[in-house]
Amino acid sequence: MLGKKRKRIVGSILWSKKSHHKELSSSVVTKPSLYHALIVIFLEFFAWGLVTQPIISVLNDTFPHHTFLMNGLIQGVKGMLSFLAAPLIGALSDVWGRKPFLVLTVTFTCAPLPLMRLSPWWYFAMISISGVFAVTFSVVFAYVADITSEEDRSAAYGLVSATFAASLVTSPAIGAYLQNYYSENLVIWLASSIALLDILFIMVAVPESLPEKLRPASWGSQISWDKADPFGALKKIGQDHLILLLCVTVFLSYLPEAGEYSSFFVYLKLIVKFSADQIASFIALIGVLSVLAQTLILALLMKYFGHKQAILVGLVFEIMQLTCYGFGSKHWVMWVAGCLASISSITYPAISAFVSAHAQPDQQGVAQGVVTGIRGLCNGLGPALFGFIFYLFHVDINTSDLLDSQNSKSSAANASQREIPRNFKDIVPGPPFAFGAVLVILALLVAVFIPPNPHSSLNAKSFENDPLMDDEEDTL
């Protein structure tokens, strides 16, 4: 009897150890990590990088007249929808977890890709509509905040932004090569397949990062409209002057950046006359330098100088690169400006790290959603603003053709109307970029008043006691 009992006890101990080892190894495998977020970002923007040249072709073929203006309007609608949706997406991810919203945002962001070949008009319509859920960065930054300490968070955000840049290092060149030697259809379907792979990766391999203890006790908890309302969020931001300063800085600095992203590569090809290979090389150079800036330079600035100084350095370099784009027309000036732009890319991860350090652990989704909402507003206004300025100063793909074909019988009135924009373009070839430099100068003046410590507050209320946050706690 004693022998049998001993065997049972030993067997149970061995079984418990074995099961414990299995649970431990399983938990290690499924543990959320920074690499999950990096892979998600890389695959999504690698897919979009592949279609850099097809996008220009489709845009030019679909809207041969006023290309920049139409591109600005399309991107503007997308950005406005992102602004409206970002606070709600961030708040919901604080309740239901990050993973389902990673699936949702990546799916909607990449949904227009196959439509580029099936129907260009549906492609542009889907790009506009996709803005409702095209806020992947907001959810990814919240995901990273869940799994990193405050000391490591700025470096982690820098890696996320660097991965975004790295995804664009080779993908435009690969896309241009495949398009030249095979076909444009191959590039579009390859990009669509990579996007589908990204969605499957999230569904199968990406674990949930939001701890159970930070979720509400009841799954039936409702999200109040006050917390999800983007305009209400903007009003409540004003009650915390620190967050207000950060949001104004984001708005003034990202507005020209959003306009630049929406039109710059089209501008390089159609106005500056870059070849497809030059555009691919230009993107690769900026991507490599941005990776170095957002890892090495950002880490050094954050370690030795702090959040505020990193933000200021990024803004100064953004002013210089926009000035080069606005007043330069030579190819070498564009290359110099691209190098400056890579260093200016540290601004947003530095601001995101500042906001994250200022927010509560269970409010990262809302905090990043507010900042992403401001970026979404810029994504709506920036492209439309740049498109309008291009249109206002007669900077479009058909401008040179119109000037060349102008015959001697044109009226004096028409000639005088064209003479002013032509003289102006001799001095300022890129008017929207020059205007953007002025906006970033204003952003720099605002950022000077940001306190060095993210845990400080400029008034009696802090982000933790912000009514926006109180609404969430009361609801949950």
- Mind listing the pLDDT tens digit for each residue in 197-256? 999 999 999 998 877 666 555 444 455 555 555 555 555 555 667 777 888 898 999 888
CA–chain centroid gap for 382, Å, is 13
- Indicate the residue type of 154: S
CA–chain centroid gap for 43, Å, is 14
Alpha helix ranges (H) inside 119-149: 120-129, 136-147
Range name among 99-108, 126-135, 139-148 with the lowest pLDDT average: 126-135
Burial class (CB in 10 A: 0-12, 13-18, 19+), 390: buried
Alpha helix ranges (H) inside 206-362: 225-228, 230-237, 241-270, 276-292, 298-304, 307-327, 331-344, 347-358
368 in the Ramachandran plot: left (φ > 0), alpha (ψ -120 to 50) or beta?
Answer: alpha
The ranges assigned to domains in the chain are 33-210+227-475
Which residues does 303 contact at the CB level (< 8 Å), separation at least 6?
none
Residue 21: what pLDDT? Answer: 43
Give dist(CA 235, CA 229) in Å, integer: 10
Kindly state which CATH superfamily the domain 33-210+227-475 is placed in: MFS general substrate transporter like domains (1.20.1250.20)
- CA distances for 390 relative to 72, 302, 386, 387, 401, angstroms: 10, 37, 6, 5, 16
At residue 170 the predicted structure's pLDDT band, cuts being 50, 70 and 90, is: confident
Residue 214: what pLDDT? Answer: 60
Give dist(CA 357, CA 368) in Å, integer: 11
Give dist(CA 183, CA 181) in Å, integer: 7
Reported pTM: 0.66
At residue 158 the predicted structure's pLDDT band, cuts being 50, 70 and 90, is: confident
Give dist(CA 432, CA 345) in Å, integer: 19
- Residue 279 in this model has a pLDDT that exceeds 90: no
At residue 396 the predicted structure's pLDDT band, cuts being 50, 70 and 90, is: low
**Residue 172's closest CA among 308, 35, 295, 285?**
285
pLDDT, tens only, 299-343: 888 888 888 899 999 999 999 999 988 888 788 888 998 889 888
Residue 194: what pLDDT? Answer: 94
- Please state the φ and ψ torsions of residue 220, each to the nearest 5 degrees: -90, 5
User: Is residue 470 within a helix (H) or strand (E), and if so which, with residue range?
Assistant: helix 467-475
- Residue 181 in this model has a pLDDT that exceeds 70: yes
Give dist(CA 140, CA 161) in Å, integer: 11
Question: What token pair was written down for 166?
Answer: 């790295």
Contact 174, 3 (CB under 8 A): no
- Residue 97 in this model has a pLDDT that exceeds 80: yes
Contact 450, 242 (CB under 8 A): yes
Residue 461: what pLDDT? Answer: 43
